[in-house]
Structure 1
Amino acid sequence: MKEITAKELEKKLSKGEQVNIIDVREDEEVATGKIPGAKHIPLGQIPKRLNELNKNEHYYIVCRSGGRSGSACQYLIENGYNVTNMVGGMLDWEGETE
């Protein structure tokens, strides 16, 4: 499974790179702030919301600490998606939030 650190992802955003970020945390966690532009799909909803994701796109998957996003990545990889797990999750995120 491909991995990226919070710092590396923050650098991509600050350079203006077009990135697709999926936040798999629960509603109450996302309410405390998410990476600007991230799409919120709670982990448990991923199987029934696959139609919202494009297999031709690359996605960065984010959660609180990197565990749930790892599970989401595993599931998405098995279903033919190109994904990267943000290790350390939002606990390591020092960039802007919305």
Structure 2
Amino acid sequence: MFQVPEVSYEEAKRMLEEDSNVILLDVRTPQEHAQLRIPNSKLIPLDELRYAYKDLPKDKKYIVYCRSGERSAFATYFLRHMGYEAYNLAGGILIWPYEKVSGID
């Protein structure tokens, strides 16, 4: 399998707090996103990313997450291949111990 750079949830939280150029990208389905998500995350489902990535600013850093880290690993690999600075959130939302929200945003 391919290797992608990963960040721990502690490192991701620090990056989000300290760097306004970091965007949290959720690549799960809209239903999963509405059920439970990390606050202020941008939803682009994995199956739409191959088209929607062009709308993402290249001067930002992306922390990509899904449920457990598998879909986000593919998304991170793809984004890096397209020239973006992207990191996979290790373990996904399953192990995110900080605030989570639900409902339509």
RMSD (Å), alpha carbons:
1.4
Instruction: Provide the C-alpha distance between the structure 2 equivalents of 1:6 and 1:52, rounded to a whole number of angstroms.
Output: 26
User: Percent of counterpart pairs with the same letter?
Assistant: 35
For the residue of structure 1 that corresponds to 2:35, the secondary structure is: coil
Separation (CA, whole Å) in 2 of partners of 1:17 and 1:79: 22
Q: How far did residue 12 of structure 1 move? A: 3.8
CA 1:81–1:12: 2 relative to 1, 3 Å: closer
Q: Residues 39-81 of structure 1, C-alpha deviation per residue, up to 9 Å, x if partnerless?
A: 0000000011012211121100000000000000111111111
Q: Which runs of 5 or more structure 1 residues have no equivalent in the other structure?
A: none
Specify whether residues 58 and 16 from structure 1 end up closer, same or farther in structure 2 by C-alpha distance, changes over 3 A only.
closer
Looking at structure 1, the residues matched to 71 and 87 of structure 2 have their Cα atoms a distance apart, in angstroms, of: 13
Q: Does 1:67 align with 2:70?
A: yes
**Distance in 2 of aligned mates of 1:85 and 1:40:** 15
Q: Distance in 2 between matches of 1:56 and 1:16?
A: 16
Matched length: 97
TM-score w.r.t. the length of structure 2 is 0.83
TM-score (norm 1): 0.89
Q: Which runs of 4+ in 1 moved over 6 A?
A: none
- Residue 29 of structure 1 corresponds to 32
Q: How is 1:1-98 mapped onto 2 (pairs within 5 angstroms)?
A: 1-13=4-16, 15=17, 17-18=19-20, 19-98=22-101
The one-letter code sitting in structure 1 at the alignment partner of 2:12 is L
- What amino acid maps onto 2:24 in structure 1? I
